Structure 1
Amino acid sequence: MVRVFAFANAMIPTRMNSAFRPRARPVASAAMPAPSPSPGARRTPPPGGCPTGASPRRLPPLLRRAWFSLNQAFRRRIAHLGLTPDQYTALRLLAEGGPAGVRQRALTPLMSSDPNTIAALLERMEKAGWVRRRPEPEDRRARHVTLTRAGWRRFEQAREIALALQAEVLAVLPARARVTFLARLERVAEACRAAAEKPSRFDAPPR
């Protein structure tokens, strides 16, 4: 945190020549009330009821702060396993897919990522011995991804840490409110996804 210190007192001279002394301003009396600001100078609150410059609780910064802090905490706690949060997410999705595994292309929307990023992520995990990729029978260019035994063990180790961290964070809420909070947060996440998929008049025209 950057702290700013003011040294204004050290810059004020001890004496001032009378020729350069500022003239005293007249003090408004009861007979001369101070002028009231014009109606045009008043601030009009924007939609939402919060005046400009205020610090209301807004969704984007709250989501960003929560996600960034949670991601950093989880990253530190699983670092000794050689995992990253993204790699754990991939392990979890593959574990939820069961022994049959998951198509590589299906991981892209599930992880809110792009195909190139997912391919690079799985390549590193394959080299670590956590996943296995094989061509799809109907499309040799596509890949099917499954967990190895080492991948299952790594996932189970990291899952315990993830559940403990979730319990630690949700402990700030009453027990009865946690399920409701997660359900409402899921609705907010779905609304965000719908907003992202909704076309905008500012979108570039298709080529």
Structure 2
Amino acid sequence: MGDERWLEADQQQTWFTLVLLLTRLPAALGAQLQRGAGLTHFEYQVLACLSAAPGHTLRMSALATMADGSLSRLSQVVSRLEKRGWVERHPDPEDGRTTLTALTDSGLGKLVATAPGHVAEVRRLVFDSLTKAQQRQLDRIGRRILHAIDPDRP
């Protein structure tokens, strides 16, 4: 063995716990969204990002960044959402090389109807078993890990 820095026993246990959390939490949230609204977690994120944008409209590239997905994955999801009448795409009048995606009134209605169940599940799975101090600590820990992954991203 060389100069490898192996995990100590307590670090290894924490790592296994984190890996399970990163696997099971998205699956649990996705299952609730699928059951309750017929949406994937990524579809919900796309609708939520659009709802928070000025005019409920974003360039596809900005939407991909906000939803944390590739442009190809986003394009497939937006096509599905378009077929359901929840979003519309059109060329950007300021730059014809880019495409804008807009949330429709029907899409906003779907998001508004879906959000209470999703928020209830987030509360149940994440926040209800934590104290306020633990919630703040979780936020700080998450931000530190995200900063280590990408120091330039807010």
The alignment status of 1:147 with 2:103, answered yes or no, reads yes
Moved over 3 A (4+): 43-46, 61-64
How far residue 58 of structure 1 moved from its aligned partner, in angstroms, is: 4.5
Query: Which residue of 124, 127, 132 maps to 1:175?
Result: 132
Flag the structure with more relative contact order, 1 or 2, with Cα contacts below 8 A and sequence separation at least 6.
2
2:21 to 66, 85, 92: 66
Q: Distance in 2 between matches of 1:192 and 1:63?
A: 15
Residue 119 of structure 1 aligns with an amino acid whose one-letter code is: S
TM-score using structure 1 length:
0.63
Q: How far apart, CA to CA, are the structure 2 residues paired with 1:154 and 1:67?
A: 27
Of 168-177 and 86-95, more deviation after overlay is shown by 168-177
Q: Per-residue deviation at 1:178?
A: 0.9
TM-superposed CA distance for 1:188, in Å, is 1.4
What is the 5 A alignment of 1:1-207? 47=5, 50=8, 56-59=12-15, 61-79=16-34, 80-168=36-124, 169-194=126-151
Greater C-alpha Rg:
1
Q: Which runs of 5+ in 2 are unaligned?
A: none
Asked if the contact 2:29–2:122 (Cα under 8 Å) also holds between the matched residues in 1, the reply is: no
* Structure 1 residues not aligned, in runs of 5+: 1-42, 198-207
Q: How many residues align?
A: 151
CA distance in 2, matches of 1:167, 1:101: 28
What's the % identity of the aligned pairs?
21
Contact 2:56 2:103 in 1 (8 A): no
- 1: CA distance between counterparts of 2:31 and 2:114? 12
Instruction: Give me the TM-score of the superposition, normalised by structure 2.
Output: 0.81
